[in-house]
Amino acid sequence: MTRKICVVTGSRADYGLLRWVMQGIKEDNLLTLQILVTGSHLSSLFGSTFKEIEDDGFIIDRKIETLSNSDTVWGTSESIGNGIIGCAKAFEDLEPDLVVVLGDRFEVFAAATAALVAGIPIAHIHGGEVTLGSFDEALRHSITKMSQLHFVAAEEYRKRVIQLGENPNDVFLVGGLGIDNIVRRKFITKSELEEILGVDFQEKSLLITFHPVTLETNDSARQMSELLLALSELEDTTLIFTMPNADPNSRKLIKMVDDFTLRNQNAKSFVSLGQQLYLSLVSAVDGVVGNSSSGLTEVPSLKKGTVNIGDRQTGRLKAGSVIDCFPSKEEILTAIRKLYSYEFQSNLSEVINPYGKGGASARILDVLRTNSLEEITKKSFHDL
């Protein structure tokens, strides 16, 4: 009998990272892939990105509608409740042997909660990381405590998961999943991107992604305003936006980007690009700007600079290609000028990504295939 592995994906971001793990499970004779899709995947506002999963040849076993009509903090709490109810029913029907979740999103927290209560073992990817500017920080560590198998991206994160009381034998250092996408995907050329996306690359170009800062909810719009004021002074630069994810106050930020692109002919926005287009754009532009984790975990492998704004990613390991700055117009402009400086650009080729060189998917698959699940849900707290 094959081992049934249910992979939960709730957004374009985690699917992009899980893609090759899912493919490996699908192709393995000892494993059966189940896919549970939830969160922003099913929202037209965020691009109905479940279609990308189907376009990649996967069969979705369950679609769980979770998002509330409100993107307030209360609406997010409602979405978590919807997710727990929907995932509980799905797990009852699918009867997986193991549930795989990635990261720290609230829809992932909901799925982990449902699996925990049902006594289904959980494998958690990218635990042990720190992001002080969002409530994802607490959700991530909570998911770690619910999980039995842990796949971490760096030695520092391995130690932190063990510090949380997890058995070292169940914590596997595999590296960052995002690098597998860079290694395994064929990139689209700059001229092809212009044709596909209708983008006219000027002499300079930047890719911008700015998400809500969920521990500073009332400040997200102000920070976005400062960013847009800074970008408005870059008249010789093509500005390509990817939209915020489904966090509290995301709709306000989406409207701000929409209004900005209407006023500025050098700016264009996309709800969702998919991994191939996104990484191809990273490779084509001069650098990325915003507060997305991708700027720290993936972009350094493409030898591009990142302007990392504010506290959303504070605590993550950073390569020498990351420029941190305060979320104010002048500091953002100073950071962008540094990004373009000869000294900074000349050092990018030597940058080492702290998240590894690839191969995380294969390492995870080996554990999913071979690790015993016998009595695995009965954990003991590992004291240091």
CATH of the domain at 10: 3.40.50.2000
At 267-293, the pLDDT tens digits run 999 988 888 899 999 999 999 999 999
21 and 86 assigned to the same domain: yes
How far from chain centre, in Å, is Cα 36? 17
Are 237 and 195 found together in one domain?
yes
Q: What pLDDT does residue 29 have?
A: 95
Q: What range does the domain containing 223 cover? A: 187-350
**Number of CB atoms found within 10 A of residue 55's CB:** 9
Q: Examine the domain organization and report whether 49 and 120 are in the same domain.
A: yes
378 within some domain: no
Q: Are residues 321 and 262 in the same domain?
A: yes
- Sequence-separated (6 or more) residues with CB below 8 Å from residue 206: 231, 234, 237, 238, 239, 240, 285, 286, 287, 288, 289, 336
Shared-domain flag, residues 100 and 158 = yes
The pTM score is 0.89
Half-sphere exposure of 344 (CA within 13 A, CB side): 20
Q: Are residues 238 and 158 in the same domain?
A: no
* One domain, residues 204 and 335: yes
Q: Per DSSP, what are the bridge partners of residue 213?
A: none
pLDDT digits (tens, 9 = 90+) for 160-200: 999 999 999 999 999 999 999 898 878 999 999 999 999 99
Residues in the chain: 384
Identify whether residues 208 and 303 lie together within a single domain: yes
* pLDDT lower than 70: segments of the chain: 133, 214-218
Q: Which is nearest to 365 in space by CA: 172, 185, 178, 183? A: 172
Q: What is the pLDDT of residue 216?
A: 62
**Is residue 240 helix, strand or coil?**
strand
Query: Is residue 57 domain-shared with residue 104, that is, in the same domain?
Result: yes
Domain total of the chain? 2
94, part of any domain: yes
At 376, list the tokens: 């695995």
Can you read off the two tokens belonging to residue 130? 């720190």
Domain membership flag for residue 38: yes
Q: Is residue 375 situated within a structural domain?
A: no
Among residues 80, 62, 11, the alpha carbon closest in space to that of 41 is found at 11
Same domain (yes/no): 152, 226: no
Domain identity same for 66 and 47: yes
379 within a domain of the structure (yes/no)? no
Show the 3-state SS of 225-236: HHHHHHHCCCCC
7: left (phi over 0), alpha (psi -120 to 50) or beta: beta
C-alpha closest to that of 19 among 33, 39, 3: 33
Residue pair 8/36 in contact by the 8 Å Cβ criterion: yes
Average pLDDT, the chain: 93
Q: Would residue 182 count as lying in a domain?
A: no
- Let me know if 73 is exposed, middle or buried by CB neighbors in 10 A (0-12, 13-18, 19+): middle
Which residues lie closer than 8 Å to 318 by C-beta, 6 or more apart? Answer: 296, 308, 324, 354
Q: 9-26: string of b/e by CB count within 10 Å (b at 16+)?
A: bbbbbbbbbbbbbbbbbb
Instruction: Kindly state whether residue 376 falls inside one of the protein's structural domains.
Output: no
Q: Is residue 383 part of a domain?
A: no
State the greatest distance between any 2 C-alpha atoms of the chain, in Å, as a whole number.
Answer: 62
Given this model, what pLDDT does residue 217 score? 55
Q: How do 287-290 and 305-309 pair as beta strands?
A: parallel
Residues 31 and 54 in one domain: yes
